[in-house]
Amino acid sequence: MLKFNFKCLFFLNLLLIFFVFPLLLFSGYLAAEIIETEELKECLQKTFEDSETFVCVCNSEYCDEVEPLGLLAKGKIIFYLTDKRKNRMKKVLKHFPFNKTDDNKLPTISIDSSTRFQTIIGFGGAFTDSVGLNLNSLSATTRESLIKNYFHPEEGIGYSIGRVPIASTDFSTREYSYVEQEGDFELKTFSLAKEDFEYKIPYIKMANRYRIGQPFRLLAAPWASPGWMKTNGKMNGDGELKGDLNGPYYHSYAKYLKKFFDEYHANGIDFWALTIQNQPESGLEKDFPFQTMFMSNRTQREFAKQLLLPLFQKSEYTVNLKLIAFDDVREHLVVSASEIFDKQTDSSSSKTSFEQTNIFLDHLLPLVPDFVIDGVKNFLNYQNEVEIKNPIDGIGVHWYVLDKIEDQSKVHELYKDKFIISTEACAGFDIIADFGPRIGNWTRGWMYGHDILHNLRNWAIGWIDWNICLNMEGGPNWVNNIVDAPILVDGEKDEFYKQPMFYFIAHFSKFIPPGSVRINSSLFNNLSDYSINLLNKVDHVAFVTPRGDKIIVLINPNEEIIELNIKDIVEDREMKIELDPNSIMTAIWN
């Protein structure tokens, strides 16, 4: 009997050591994983009448979160998936095997990190008066959550650019400039508006705080000069600056723009770039309803060269400002770029004059010491470079003409030292066919994703949305030019709704940080009919990040599952994936 008890005790110990304890430990591990998953806040879904899909609700106590990327183990690949039916940024971890897949008949997207293109500066949105007014309608906690959702690199979607209108736009509640006193050419009455202090500056600073030391670039853009400076005497409607570049209106307006940067600097905010004029061609439209001003492409160049640059060089916070021209729809992009960047008409005569001066100085050599002649030549050479150098750093484009995006590549090939950036996009702008907000609209999300992806494939270094949030009516807007936004705000309920557009942007902005470089991705059809059809169905773009991760974004706009292989040529890895119907997927590996 005693022996039996010892045996029982012995086997009981073995059972505890080799089975029960490991099971408990493993169960504890699983429990920890489950708890961690449960702690991650998933989308609080809400469907509105006539919605194509749901939106995600955020308030002072709750907002959905994206599971962090973390550090990637070699040989692993992480997928983030958003689809029309149920998922918002769902994370999946898989093994990324070496060598070939079992199914070579499927089409293959090959990623080649040895072929590199443009460097990305980031993604962002605009701080309009309407944005600030809508943020003010929320409680302090909820508005902080909204800004954090956009700009925090880990807990948000990593916006790194903010566009700031200079004075009022249609997305203001009134028309205003910073100098209302007619004839005040010396700008003695210049003053920032209450909107700057209540709607713009506080939220720009909040966004910068949520960047937690990461790059944050601001782009300023004027819609119009003070009305009294324009030919029609008002900020809205067709018109341009009075006089010419040598006259008092152009000189005063240049000082007006410089004064804006001075005042924002005094309030702790500096800028990366200036768009010389927002949508200048709208200033040719008779009775255009809101703030606008025409400025030809050549005038933009000469205005920058003759008036803006000398002023900006006087302050350390404006001396390195990037100057962006065009900033309009792509309809006339190639022609406009040639007018902006081709050699100025007087450059050849300047060059001839410079060469003649050099010959004259050479004749003086017997009479004047060499070092004097060399000094004069060096000075003249510097002056000649300044004279001929084009002051425009880049081209801004808007999305409102959705075709002709390949023209961006044509412009890049012609002017490779100049950058291209997409500076404005919004859905719901078509007054006739598709006006105002459509809450929960999946198609608009796809339109955003398609536009971002093809901008990036055609040399854009960044992509900027229009209003980062609007109210449920798509405003406020002083001329009722209501549109949609990735986030809509319901101030009465103290909540905001993240639409499909928000998540489509997130699939790019969260995983393609500033400093990422686009790499080559190509779709091969492997000679099958299915593959040939697929060529028109799947959009793709790939990058390598500053920490060495590789990224590919894939969009399937169709109602069926798409199967394909993705292959990393450099690492010789390949795997089969499935793209769910109506979905966008971001894959990350190293």
Residue 26: band (very low, low, confident or very high) from pLDDT cuts 50, 70, 90: very low
Tell me the β-bridge partners of 124: 161, 464
Task: Output phi, psi for 495, to 5 deg.
Answer: -145, 160
Contact 398, 329 (CB under 8 A): yes
What gap in Å lies between CA 485 and CA 444, rounded to an integer? 10
The domain locations on the chain are: 75-119+516-589, 122-344+390-509, 351-383
Contact 282, 288 (CB under 8 A): yes
Buried/exposed 370-381: b ≥16 CB within 10 Å, e otherwise: eeebeeeeeeee
DSSP state of 297: H
The pLDDT, as a whole number, for residue 30 is 30
**What's the chain's length in residues?**
590
User: Residue 325: in which H helix or E strand, if any?
Assistant: strand 322-329
Q: Which residue has the higher pLDDT, 432 or 456?
A: 456
User: Residue 197: in which H helix or E strand, if any?
Assistant: none
Contact 365, 373 (CB under 8 A): yes
Residue 43: CB atoms within 10 A of its CB come to 21
Q: Which residue has the higher pLDDT, 40 or 383?
A: 40
Residue 164: CB atoms within 10 A of its CB come to 19
The pLDDT, as a whole number, for residue 374 is 67
Tell me the β-bridge partners of 125: 162
Report CA-CA distances (Å) from 492 to 59, 64, 472: 11, 21, 11
What gap in Å lies between CA 474 and CA 495, rounded to an integer? 15
The mean predicted confidence, pLDDT, of the chain is 89
Instruction: Give the 3-state secondary structure of 214-277.
Output: CCCEEEEEECCCCHHHECCCCCECCCEECCCCCCHHHHHHHHHHHHHHHHHHHCCCCCCEEECC
Dihedral (C-alpha) 348, 353, 355, 359: value to the nearest 10 degrees?
A: 160
pLDDT at 367 over 70: no
* 508-562 tens-digit pLDDT: 999 999 999 999 999 987 655 555 466 558 999 999 999 999 999 999 999 999 9
Residue range 473-495: mean pLDDT, rounded: 98
Residue range 293-304: mean pLDDT, rounded: 98
The pLDDT, as a whole number, for residue 403 is 81
User: Residue 281: in which H helix or E strand, if any?
Assistant: none
pLDDT at 102 over 70: no
Residue 154: band (very low, low, confident or very high) from pLDDT cuts 50, 70, 90: very high
Tell me the β-bridge partners of 524: 108
**Cα 590 off chain centre by:** 25
Q: Tokens for 194? A: 């209450």
pLDDT at 94 over 90: yes
pLDDT at 24 over 70: no
Q: Tokens for 281? A: 């061609």
Ranked by mean pLDDT, the top range of 73-77, 102-106, 219-223 is 219-223
Report CA-CA distances (Å) from 408 to 231, 456, 513: 33, 10, 22
Residue range 253-271: mean pLDDT, rounded: 99
pLDDT at 243 over 90: yes
Task: Output phi, psi for 576, to 5 deg.
Answer: -90, 135
Q: Which residue has the higher pLDDT, 534 or 320?
A: 320
- Element counts in the chain: helices (H) and strands (E): 16, 24
Amino acid (one-letter) located at 215: P
Share of residues in the chain with pLDDT > 70 (%): 83
The pLDDT, as a whole number, for residue 347 is 41
Q: Tokens for 275? A: 């768009």
Domain 75-119+516-589 CATH class label: mainly beta
The pLDDT, as a whole number, for residue 401 is 82
Residue range 161-185: mean pLDDT, rounded: 99
The pLDDT, as a whole number, for residue 381 is 59
The pLDDT, as a whole number, for residue 72 is 87
The pLDDT, as a whole number, for residue 129 is 99
pLDDT at 1 over 90: no
Q: Which CATH number fits domain 122-344+390-509: 3.20.20.80, 1.10.1740.10, 2.40.50.140, 2.70.70.10?
A: 3.20.20.80
What gap in Å lies between CA 315 and CA 251, rounded to an integer? 18
Contact 550, 568 (CB under 8 A): yes
User: Residue 78: in which H helix or E strand, if any?
Assistant: strand 76-83
The pLDDT, as a whole number, for residue 297 is 98
Task: Output phi, psi for 568, to 5 deg.
Answer: -90, 105
Report CA-CA distances (Å) from 543 to 299, 504, 553: 37, 17, 9
Q: Where are the beta strands (DSSP E) in 332-417?
A: 394-398
Residue 71: band (very low, low, confident or very high) from pLDDT cuts 50, 70, 90: confident
Contact 274, 259 (CB under 8 A): no
What gap in Å lies between CA 563 and CA 487, rounded to an integer? 32
The pLDDT, as a whole number, for residue 240 is 99
Predicted model pTM: 0.87
Q: Tokens for 134? A: 């809508």
Amino acid (one-letter) located at 153: P
pLDDT at 354 over 70: no
What gap in Å lies between CA 301 and CA 388, rounded to an integer? 12
Tell me the β-bridge partners of 536: none
Residue range 120-133: mean pLDDT, rounded: 99
Rg (alpha carbons) of the chain, rounded to whole number:
29
Alpha helices in 421-499 (DSSP H): 442-457
Q: Which residue has the higher pLDDT, 204 or 35?
A: 204
Tell the residue number behind the tokens 């030019």, with chain if given: 481
Residue 88: band (very low, low, confident or very high) from pLDDT cuts 50, 70, 90: very high
What gap in Å lies between CA 161 and CA 121, rounded to an integer? 8
Alpha helices in 418-499 (DSSP H): 442-457
Helix-strand-coil percent breakdown of the chain, rounded to 5? 35, 25, 40
Tell me the β-bridge partners of 429: 435
Residue range 65-84: mean pLDDT, rounded: 94
Contacts of 403 (CB under 8 A, 6+ apart): 330
Contact 298, 274 (CB under 8 A): no
Residue 552: CB atoms within 10 A of its CB come to 22
**What is the end-to-end Cα distance of the chain in Å, rounded?**
63
Dmax over Cα atoms in the chain, in whole Å? 127
**Cα 550 off chain centre by:** 20
Residue 117: band (very low, low, confident or very high) from pLDDT cuts 50, 70, 90: very high
The pLDDT, as a whole number, for residue 343 is 73
